[in-house]
Amino acid sequence: MKNTITPTQIAVLLFVFLTGSAIINIPAPLIAVSDNEAWICLLAAAAIGMLLLVPLVSLARRFPDMDFIEYGAQLTSRPVAVVLGVLLLTLHLHIVAGIIMDISLFLKSSMMRNTSYAYFTILTSLAVALTARVGIGRFAGMFGLLMLSVMLFVVFNISLASPGFHLPYLLPILDQGVKPIWHGIYYIYGFPYGELAVFCMILPYVRTRAKDRTGSKMALAVALNAASLLAVTLATVLTFGPIAGERKYSMFEVARTVYITEIFERLEALMGYSMIVASFMKATIALFSAHLTLNSLLRLPRDNRQLIFPLAFLTMLISLIVGIRGEAYWSFIVSSIHPLWVFACGTVPLLVVYAASLVRRRAA
């Protein structure tokens, strides 16, 4: 198959997808709901993410050249697979629109306050659509380097901010019982771990050989992601303490605290770059997966790319509407509705098909 990727590239894409916008966005809202137990929630949600890899990879291994809808139709029936595929598509559209809106909100609130968010939304959507259109074989190679630069800047930021860390800020723990932990797990399961279900459409592109360990590499990607998010969350708590949950775009805010002589200051520009690039990459992967889902639902060739632009145009307009409805509306969608949406339209379809595969295997 043309336009294939290697197991290492799929693991890199998974790391990019999971870490993408989460590395800048996750700490503040997670700390807001779970206080100093945020790191416990992260570890628990990462474990759930690891468990989700089991059905994802085992189905891909059992049906190597088929995507979720194709093997779903074999294991259940075509109508059931179409329904599950439509649910998955709704999630894809939401993820793309949400990430693009997130980039716009970040730019408007933190860097260019007098510019309408619409310009950021439209231009970002254009970039995402054009990149998705060139195909996964091309952008998978590029994203590895871009993500490396993002991670280097994040590590650089945390290192330079470390003199301002206060270890007592890690306490107290469990002062409000276990509900904050469950709340934190609910939130972070939705963003980003539950979202890895979208990879059920991308895995057919992986060119496997006999001893390729796609599953192990993807598990490593999830583990590295968990370590990264843990590091940024702890850095946020150690820097801001009780007000950590109020500092939106945490790594950006942590970077603003860095001042070492007159050489290392205004590092928030690096975090701005990291946020935009990482989110752009995640949006591209999600849009690409969305168009694969649509192609599969319509029984079109997998390499058909004619529907990418109208999909991108639709998600662009969905994003623009969020700006009209307001930030409180968006905040409720992201923090409360999104995890439920991911569960209902991402995790459940995957588990249904996996359960069907187990039943079929037992019957055979």
Partner 1 sequence: MLALLFLALIAFLAYDWTAGRLGGAKLRIKIVYAVLLLAAGYHLLIVTRTITAASYYDLSMRIFGGIAERIVAYLDPKGGT
User: What is the 8-class DSSP label of residue 334?
Assistant: I
What is the rounded CA–CA span in Å between residue 6 and residue 10? Answer: 6
Nearer Cβ to partner 1 (136/238): 136
Nearer Cβ to partner 1 (129/160): 129
Q: Shortest gap between Cβ of 184 and partner 1 (angstroms)?
A: 9
Q: Shortest gap between Cβ of 94 and partner 1 (angstroms)?
A: 7
Nearer Cβ to partner 1 (162/336): 336
Nearer Cβ to partner 1 (128/267): 128
What is the rounded CA–CA span in Å between residue 52 and residue 194? Answer: 8
Which spans of this chain sit near partner 1 (rule: CB under 8 A)? Answer: 33, 93-94, 97, 116, 118-119, 122-123, 125-126, 129, 176-177, 179-180, 182-183, 186, 294, 298, 300, 304-307, 309-314, 316-318, 320-322, 324-325, 329, 332-333, 335-337, 339-341, 344
Q: Shortest gap between Cβ of 331 and partner 1 (angstroms)?
A: 11
The identity of residue 160, as a single letter, is L
C-alpha R_g of the chain = 20
Q: Residue 315: which of 286, 279, 342 has the closest Cα?
A: 286
Which helix H or strand E contains 319, and what residues bound it?
Answer: helix 308-325
Q: Shortest gap between Cβ of 44 and partner 1 (angstroms)?
A: 14
**Terminal Cα-to-Cα distance of the chain (whole angstroms):** 30
What is the rounded CA–CA span in Å between residue 254 and residue 234? Answer: 11
Q: Is the four-CA dihedral 206, 207, 211, 212 of positive or negative sign?
A: negative
Q: Shortest gap between Cβ of 304 and partner 1 (angstroms)?
A: 7
Q: Shortest gap between Cβ of 100 and partner 1 (angstroms)?
A: 13
Nearer Cβ to partner 1 (7/180): 180
Nearer Cβ to partner 1 (173/337): 337
Q: Shortest gap between Cβ of 185 and partner 1 (angstroms)?
A: 9
Q: Are 84 and 349 in contact (CB under 8 A)?
A: yes
Nearer Cβ to partner 1 (166/325): 325
Give rounded-to-5 percent helix, strand, coil for the chain: 80, 0, 20
Question: DSSP letters of 52-104?
Answer: HHHHHHHHHHHSTT--HHHHHHHHS-HHHHHHHHHHHHHHHHHHHHHHHHHHH
Q: Shortest gap between Cβ of 309 and partner 1 (angstroms)?
A: 4
| Residues contacting residue 200 through CB under 8 Å, at least 6 positions apart | 56, 59, 60, 67, 68, 88, 350
Nearer Cβ to partner 1 (183/256): 183
